[in-house]
Amino acid sequence: MRIQKSIASIVIAGSLLVGGASVASASPAAVPAHKPSAECVTALKSLRAEFVEGGRLEQQAKDLLRLRTFAVRHHRTDAVKVIDAKLAALKVKGAALRAEIAAQKAVVKTACAPAASAA
């Protein structure tokens, strides 16, 4: 009697395990929506590189502002003029980079949009 109950409980546990596994594998979250194209991956890498460049430019601007403050405090007007010129150049680079990032975001939006499925 005990053996029959043990076998029955093993069979029931096995069927629940197999049934639960088949339900889990049929869930829509397990299947990816779409695979990104090579163009999408390239566009995303380019956008990421531009964001890194923007961070680098911001750090340079912070460093230059710190140096400018130091130069002003120590009455180094010649250094302030040089630093101001570098800050102006960084401002131009930053504006150009923001324009590139906006253009690259548009490329990413079009390249990485999922293709419309044919119905």
The per-residue pLDDT for range 12-34, each reduced to its tens digit, is: 766 666 665 555 555 555 555 66
Q: In the chain, what are the domain boundaries?
A: 36-109
Average model confidence (pLDDT) for the chain?
A: 81
- Among the listed ranges 2-6, 9-13, 109-113, which one has the minimum average pLDDT value? 2-6
Q: What is the DSSP letter of 27?
A: -
Is residue 30 within 8 A of residue 22, CB to CB? The reply is: no
Per residue in 43-87, pLDDT (tens digit) is 899 999 999 999 999 999 999 999 999 999 999 999 999 999 999
CA angle 86, 89, 95 (to 5 degrees): 140
Which pTM was predicted? 0.61
Is residue 87 within 8 A of residue 72, CB to CB? The reply is: no
**What pLDDT, on the 0 to 100 scale, is given for residue 118?**
43
Query: Comparing C-alpha atoms, which of 53, 43, 57 is closest to residue 91?
Result: 57
Is residue 111 within 8 A of residue 40, CB to CB? The reply is: yes
